[in-house]
Structure 1
Amino acid sequence: MIHLIGAGGLGLLWAARLARAGMPCRLILRDTAALNAWQNRHQLVGLTEGTRHFDIEVPAEVASTGEPIAFLIVATKAYSAQAALASVAPRLKSGAQILMLQNGLGSQQAASQTYPAQRVLYASVTDGAWVASPAQVVWAGKGINRIGDPFGGEAPSWLENLNAATIASQWVTDIEQVLWQKLAINCAINPFTVLYDCPNGEVPLHAGVLLDQLIPELHQLLACYGARIDLEHLDATIRQVINSTAANSSSMRQDVHNNRRTEIDFILGYAVRQARSADLQLPTLERLYTDLRSRLVALGLPPD
């Protein structure tokens, strides 16, 4: 049985694909009211994939009841991950596998520290999904999930099941390097999309020289923490992502437009804290962090 906690866009997307592939799964909801609403919708997830639409039944339960959990996928926002795990902690089997799908860094390491009796795996997710209405999710962009164990170890057998459910996944032995590089990409795109309220493709136009200054600073940060990528490759990767997602609105910008808390603390905030801890002088990164926090406060949103 696969248990999945987090009923946002990514959680609904994964749950729908698992159930569509005939794999036993349960979506864990936050409380009885949410479960009642789910059951009133006949436990159906509406999945829109291009021009096709599917209604897929996904059984659900609340965190406090149900069988012991052997495999848990955590698909919440980064700032909610610890609370979500705590809600099901009494149900986690010793040796249970926990797959973290969060943006940024910090929530994964916190899970590893808090649950040493379980195997916590990290994922870098590039699928795009958004919730059109309650229990209706749009698969906006197909990506690949890179999954790994920060402490080493072999690939789990269920990786084949994910691929069978069209959740394209590959095992990597350097997952933290993968996540550091993804963090750098997010730091170079997401904050500017909020500051200038623009889609990804317009970031170079608005950010200008700040982007040019930021990328070498991000390279310094990655090099300090062991991520093996040269400056030219990092620069080219960031600009390729900007071009390939030009029409997209970043997750951080979507959160702002929906008046929701952002994941700044696990993206730009994490980068700044790690730079300070290493005594790196990265003025553009610091300025971007200050400006973004000020912008969020001006919009009435939490700055962390």
Structure 2
Amino acid sequence: MRIGIIGGGAVGLLMAAYFSNHYDVTVYTRRQEQAEQLCTHGLTVICGDERTTHRVHAEPFVRETNVDVLFIAVKQYDLTNILKTNMHMLRADAVMFLQNGMGHVSHLPHMPHHHIALAVVEHGAFKIDDTTVSHTGVGKTKWSVWRGKKETFSFLYTTDARFPFQYVDDWEMMLIEKLMVNVAINPLTALLQVPNGMLVTHAPYRQAMEQLFHEVTSIFQIEQRERIWKHIETVCQQTAANRSSMLCDIEAGRMTELDAILGYVIERANERCVPAPISTFLYALMKGKQLEGETER
């Protein structure tokens, strides 16, 4: 089976490494330099004290893909550009999306592919350089079919034990629950510049996260709030030393997924005429911090 992965970030590299043990994998990168490095040196995964190198093919994403299954592992803002201008390049029998937020869902009805799946990644991963990724926390990847046959993705059940997949019937709730984790952790850790664990161990930060959580669950009219809150606490505890992707983006002066995460929440609140003062306030602060970082570059 030929597997293609668009995106040479932490998630894309981690997925490519584990799939390469069983399948023919091609990583489609943004830069020619990264593609050349991956082809020359291979893809190295660090997991605890173990270090393994995997052989993958890589090329810049400048022409049509030619694979059986295509995984799209880019940030939400890059995905929007791909779906608007380069959808014709996504040549595959089946496509799976691995994004934070839910902004991409509105584009799915316009896609020609017969088999489309959505997924959320619960692993901890940190990209060290163009050919090295650290698997900082072993979790699972939840996935659900948006259109097509579930059996098309049956190969997911034969992947490496360190990179398991779990099927979920309700794709919308799966994405909303992942959104809740991102909303609760990413903007606050980026604003406060603290690792994930401090959101539950530092009482004032925990209180702020609880207030944000209750506002967002009200906007989406989410039931089972206690279960989702406990999941968020568990994520913070299991990734206590990790710095969220949004915090890493801020520190590196990169664009963040603020609009795809908190911006999406505010859009839904406006549509439903529900007040969102905490989300709006936090969004404004983070937007200012992001602009400040862009100005300093």
* TM-score computed with the length of structure 2 as normaliser: 0.88
Which of the numbers 66, 69, 73 marks the counterpart of 1:68? 66
Tell me, yes or no, if structure 1 residue 244 matches structure 2 residue 245: no
- Return the alpha-carbon distance in structure 2 between the equivalents of residues 79 and 88 of structure 1: 15
- The AA in structure 2 aligned to 1:99 is M
- Alignment correspondent of 1:2: 3
- Alignment correspondent of 2:12: 11
- Give the conservation status (yes or no) of the 8 Å contact 1:128–1:143: yes
- Return the alpha-carbon distance in structure 2 between the equivalents of residues 278 and 150 of structure 1: 24
Tell me, yes or no, if structure 1 residue 134 matches structure 2 residue 135: no
What are the superposed Cα offsets for residues 2-51 of structure 1, whole Å, 9 maximum, x if unpaired?
A: 111101111111111111x2311211233545434444x24x00111211
What are the superposed Cα offsets for residues 114-148 of structure 1, whole Å, 9 maximum, x if unpaired?
A: 31444321101101111112201111111111111
- Return the alpha-carbon distance in structure 2 between the equivalents of residues 301 and 269 of structure 1: 21
Matched residue of 1:299: which SS? helix
- Give the conservation status (yes or no) of the 8 Å contact 1:2–1:71: yes
- Alignment correspondent of 2:28: 28
Matched residue of 2:294: which SS? coil
Q: 1:293 to 1:159 in 2, by over 3 A?
A: same
Q: 1:144 to 1:300 in 2, by over 3 A?
A: same
- Alignment correspondent of 1:282: 276
- Return the alpha-carbon distance in structure 1 between the equivalents of residues 90 and 194 of structure 2: 43
- The AA in structure 1 aligned to 2:56 is V
Deviation at 1:193, TM superposition (A): 0.6
Equivalent residue runs for 1:177-192 within 5 Å = 177-192=173-188
Task: Give percent identity, aligned residues only.
Answer: 26
- Alignment correspondent of 2:102: 105
Q: 1:260 to 1:156 in 2, by over 3 A?
A: farther
Q: 1:163 to 1:288 in 2, by over 3 A?
A: farther
- The AA in structure 1 aligned to 2:150 is A
Matched residue of 1:274: which SS? helix
Equivalent residue runs for 1:50-69 within 5 Å = 50-65=48-63, 68-69=66-67
- The AA in structure 2 aligned to 1:100 is F
- Return the alpha-carbon distance in structure 1 between the equivalents of residues 254 and 264 of structure 2: 19
What are the superposed Cα offsets for residues 71-109 of structure 1, whole Å, 9 maximum, x if unpaired?
A: 10001111111334554624525xx211001112212x1
Q: 1:239 to 1:31 in 2, by over 3 A?
A: closer
- Root-mean-square deviation (CA, aligned residues, Å) is 2.4
- Return the alpha-carbon distance in structure 1 between the equivalents of residues 293 and 141 of structure 2: 33
- Return the alpha-carbon distance in structure 2 between the equivalents of residues 184 and 127 of structure 1: 16
- Give the conservation status (yes or no) of the 8 Å contact 1:155–1:171: no
- Give the conservation status (yes or no) of the 8 Å contact 2:44–2:51: yes
Q: Which stretch of the first structure deviates more once superposed, 50-59 or 203-212?
A: 203-212
- Give the conservation status (yes or no) of the 8 Å contact 1:272–1:286: yes
Stretches of structure 1 that go unaligned for 5 or more consecutive residues are none
- Give the conservation status (yes or no) of the 8 Å contact 1:47–1:139: yes
- Return the alpha-carbon distance in structure 2 between the equivalents of residues 51 and 181 of structure 1: 32
What are the superposed Cα offsets for residues 238-293 of structure 1, whole Å, 9 maximum, x if unpaired?
A: 33332332222111111112221111111111111111111111222222112221
Matched residue of 2:193: which SS? coil
- Give the conservation status (yes or no) of the 8 Å contact 1:12–1:137: yes
- Alignment correspondent of 2:263: 269
Which of the numbers 136, 160, 165 marks the counterpart of 2:160? 165
- Return the alpha-carbon distance in structure 1 between the equivalents of residues 242 and 89 of structure 2: 39
- Return the alpha-carbon distance in structure 1 between the equivalents of residues 242 and 97 of structure 2: 24
What are the superposed Cα offsets for residues 177-235 of structure 1, whole Å, 9 maximum, x if unpaired?
A: 01101111211111111111111122253435433322221211221xxx5x3333333
- Return the alpha-carbon distance in structure 2 between the equivalents of residues 290 and 236 of structure 1: 27
- The AA in structure 1 aligned to 2:11 is L
- Give the count of matched residue pairs: 291
Stretches of structure 2 that go unaligned for 5 or more consecutive residues are none
- Give the conservation status (yes or no) of the 8 Å contact 1:128–1:140: yes
Tell me, yes or no, if structure 1 residue 230 matches structure 2 residue 224: yes
Which of the numbers 196, 204, 222 marks the counterpart of 2:192? 196
- The AA in structure 1 aligned to 2:18 is R
- The AA in structure 2 aligned to 1:284 is I
- Return the alpha-carbon distance in structure 1 between the equivalents of residues 173 and 90 of structure 2: 31
Q: Which stretch of the first structure deviates more once superposed, 210-219 or 157-166?
A: 157-166
Q: 1:80 to 1:301 in 2, by over 3 A?
A: farther
- The AA in structure 1 aligned to 2:88 is A
Deviation at 1:67, TM superposition (A): 6.3
